Amino acid sequence: MSKSNFTRRGLIKTGAVAGAAGLSLPTYLRADGHSGFTNAPTGDTVTLGFNVPQSGPYADEGADELRAFELAVEHLNGGGDGGMMQTFSSKALQGNGILGKKVEYVSGDTQTKSDAARASARSMIEKDGAIMITGGSSSGVAVAVQALCQEAGVIFMAGLTHSNDTTGKDKKANGFRHFFNSYMSGAALAPVLAAQYGKDRKAYHLTADYNWGYTTQEAVQSSTEAMGWETVNAVLTPLTQTDFSSYIAPVLQSGADVLVLNHYGGNMVNSLTNAVQFGLRDKEVNGKKFEIVVPLYSELMARGAGANIKGIFGSQNWDWKLENQLGARYVGTNAFVQSFGEKYGFPPSQAAHTCYVQTLLYADAVERAGSFNPCAVVEALEGFEFDGMGNGPTLYRADDHQCFKDVVVVKGKENPENEYDLVEIVEVTPTEQVTYEPDHPQMAGGQLGECNPGA
């Protein structure tokens, strides 16, 4: 297993060098050799494309992503309080747009459908001249749009996408993911689950029948089995399923004492609600209290599940309470929550956070590269170590364009103090424990390829 050896001190040094010189990384010069690239900005503005679900089952998540993007644009253009630009270790961003060009944006509706997402991304690239596409709230969408951006020669800064494949077998040189993935969820959750529920457990998986479901089940299954758990069954459920009772009811007959719900969004809300209705959480099986696990958590899902989420373990990319509860390692969290909270009146979701960070990271990479050329941006982001964005020290690994940072293990709060206080941070799993080799079997099968600057 590869271990990143970057340290806080190393990070500060890198940031200081990059910040002071800006041009100290000679590889950037290579970008100047390109004669042109797709949508090279010619005037005094630059256009970013925000491709989020504005309709369909993830529309609320998309709305939160869009709020974050708008906040990021405001900060990049020098408005507001600057948010995480104040805490970001790189100091390349000056609040005067990107490379002095005012940031404008266009938005599209992915409808959480790959074809619709590609169509809206294509329109933003071809008609609106977007130089970077970001957003999304589904791994299927992310993989599809990432491939399109690779072909078109623009950068794709993935929003919420958790499937291993996004930076695994479907990785692309023009695509980058800040969000964590299924492997990391499994690696972070398994030790906590073993400590909480014991090593002698029998798990039953219900898995959403698509790409993300498969990789999440594979990751959680292999991590928990490595801890001693046995997997008694794994059943695929259709994405369109709304009533999971016929899948939930037989779980108690299977001899399992843990149910893992590899479901997201409305699927997870319904399957968890059904599981609680069927009294699974009040039962004892094999002499142990029956437990339910939700590998990928979100605040919006927790709200949808209501009281059913109480006490249920899962993992998150980030939580708005991180800095308050776990200290300065997660600096940037409070700055973002303050900015977002003042503007919108409620705390940001992890989807909002990752989208905001991705936008700032892109802008910063352009500044450091001194060019909007996608190949220059790729070079600036590859191997980039940064801090101050709310997740602690983070590495954008060059091999697969995946961010490596701590993973938050959470559980549904038993006694919420208010409507936003639904998730309790149980533990933060250090980066080293969730880091894997680029050719790990769960990621294998694809090539990053070469960056494509387009025209």
Partner 1 sequence: MDAIILQILNGLDKGSAYALIALGLTLIFGTLGVVNFAHGALFMIGAFCAVTLSRILTLSHTVIDETQKDFLGNPLKVDVPYIYDIFGQQTGDAIIDWAVPISILFAIPVMVGIGFAMERGLIKHFYKRPHADQILVTFGLAIVLQEIIKYFYGANPIPTPAPDAFRGSFDFGAMLGFDPNTIIYPYWRLVYFAFSAVIIGAVFAFLQFTTFGMVVRAGMADRETVGLLGINIDKRFTIMFGIAAAVAGLAGVMYAPINSPNYHMGMDFLVLSFVVVVVGGMGSLSGAVLAGFLLGILESFASMAVVLEILPGINQIIIYLVAIIILLTRPRGLMGRKGVMEE
β-pairing verdict for 394-396 and 384-386:
antiparallel
- Comparison of 247 and 297: residue with beta carbon closer to partner 1: 247
* In contact, 340 and 71? CB cutoff 8 Å: yes
Instruction: Please give the torsion angle defined by the CA atoms of residues 294, 298, 301 and 302, in that order, rounded to the nearest 10 degrees.
Output: 80
Residue with Cβ nearer partner 1 (199 or 283): 283
Find the shortest distance in angstroms from Cβ 300 to partner 1.
Answer: 6
Strand boundaries in 32-159, DSSP class E: 45-52, 102-109, 132-135, 155-158
Least distance in angstroms from the C-beta of 307 to partner 1: 7
Which two three-digit tokens encode residue 348?
């940001």
Q: Is the dihedral of CA 349, 353, 354, 356 positive or negative?
A: positive
Least spacing, CB of residue 411 vs partner 1, in Å: 18
Select 255 or 441, whichever has its Cβ closest to partner 1.
255
* Residue 208 Cα distances to 54, 168, 274, angstroms: 22, 19, 15
At its nearest, how many Å lie between partner 1 and the CB of residue 286? 11
- Rounded CA-CA distance 85/431 in Å is 23
Residues that bind partner 1 (CB under 8 A): 55-60, 63, 209, 233, 235-238, 240, 242-243, 245-247, 249-250, 252-254, 266, 269-270, 273-274, 277-279, 282-283, 285, 300, 303-308, 320-321, 337-338, 341-342, 346-347, 417-418, 420-421
Q: How far is the CB of 263 from partner 1 (least distance, A)?
A: 12
Residue with Cβ nearer partner 1 (332 or 393): 332
Residue number with CB closer to partner 1 (2 or 338):
338
**Alpha carbon distance 397, 399 (integer Å):** 6
Six-digit token pair at 144? 């599809």
Cα torsion angle, 280, 281, 286, 287, sign: negative
Shortest distance, CB of residue 237 to partner 1, whole angstroms? 8
Q: How far is the CB of 357 from partner 1 (least distance, A)?
A: 19
- Rounded to whole angstroms, the Cα distance separating 62 from 51 reads 9
Residue 70 or 346: the one with the smaller Cβ distance to partner 1 is 346
Judged by DSSP in three states, 431 sits in helix
Q: Minimum distance between the CB of residue 339 and partner 1, rounded to whole angstroms? A: 10
160 near 136, Cβ under 8 Å? yes
- Residue whose CB is less far from partner 1, 4 or 233: 233
Nearer to partner 1, 128 or 209 (CB): 209
